[in-house]
Amino acid sequence: MTGLWTLFYKELLRFWKVGLQTILSPLVTTLLYLLIFSHVLEAHVQVYPGVGYTAFLIPGLVMMAMLQNAFANSSSSLIQSKMSGNIVFLLLPPLAYWEFFAAYVAAAIVRGLVVGFGVGLAGWWFTPVALAHPLWMVAFALAGCAMLAAAGIITALWAGGYDQMAAVQNFIIMPLTFLSGVFYSIHSLPPFWQALSRYNPFFYLIDGFRYGFFGVSDVSPALGLAIVGACCLALSLATLALLKSGYKLRN
């Protein structure tokens, strides 16, 4: 287990050493969203009865920040190692593929949670929000970070360069997060888009996470967690299979 712990610690230290870029900058970006959208929409939109728009927005933004940062952590760490060649430092030692997976995912979860916590704390200072079901909140936070961490590993394994990495981030991850109900409830959408949203796993993450705060959601949280858990499991198994096969690591 020493190998796993060392790799986990190295991954933590990696993002911690460039915290300005990996923690503070996503924090500031997310807070800008909060500032602008709450200013423009607070007086006009009420999604759930008795819940102000700013309060509604905060959990969505927290989840969005967690997802994006969990993905960014595992993917950028791995692609950098691949491109610079220092991945050999991890391939030469007797690390098992599952240790590799566990360390990268755990570090990505930590980064996601740190940024998410920062956004939540700052948001709470704006508008105090209730915490109706904290356990549901934590469950969705962990599942979301783990899912995106695994997706990040798969992307970095597959990508032949930074260009392809950025393509996945900008054309898949970003649209899925923005179109998942961070800024709105899907009930406000036309039926077609509402139906389509239900195929987006990120929708269940945000909806369930929001349930943890307000006790209100579009889908029952148990169903949401089951769907999210299944996605998370599928992505994890796929990642483990790729790592075990040495896909694009050990040609």
Partner 1 sequence: MTPAIEISEVHKRFGSLHALRGVDLTVEQGEFFALLGPNGAGKTTLINILAGLSRATQGSSRVMGHDVVADYRDARRTLGVVPQELVYDAFFTVREMLRFQSGYFGLRKNDAWIDELLHNLGLTDKADIYTRLLSGGMKRRVLVAQALVHKPPVIVLDEPTAGVDVELRQNLWEFIRRLNRAGHTIVLTTHYLEEAETLCSRIAMLKQGQVIALDTTHNLLSAHAATQVRLKLNPNRLPEVLRSLLVAEETGCFRLVLKDYSGLEGVLASLREANVAVDELEVSKPDLEDVFLQIMGRADKEVAR
Write out the residues near partner 1 by the rule CB under 8 A. Answer: 2-3, 5-7, 9-10, 13-14, 17-18, 81, 84-86, 88-96, 246, 250-251
The number of beta carbons lying within 10 Å of the beta carbon of residue 61 is 24
Residue with Cβ nearer partner 1 (99 or 218): 99
How is residue 174 written in tokens? 């970003």
* H/E run at residue 220: none
Residue with Cβ nearer partner 1 (92 or 135): 92
Residue with Cβ nearer partner 1 (85 or 128): 85
Q: How far apart are CA 180 and CA 200, in angstroms?
A: 7
The number of beta carbons lying within 10 Å of the beta carbon of residue 192 is 8
Q: CB of residue 77 vs partner 1: minimum separation in angstroms?
A: 9
How is residue 199 written in tokens? 């195929």
Q: How far apart are CA 19 and CA 7, in angstroms?
A: 18
Residue pair 109/146 in contact (Cβ under 8 Å)? The answer is: yes
Residue with Cβ nearer partner 1 (101 or 209): 101
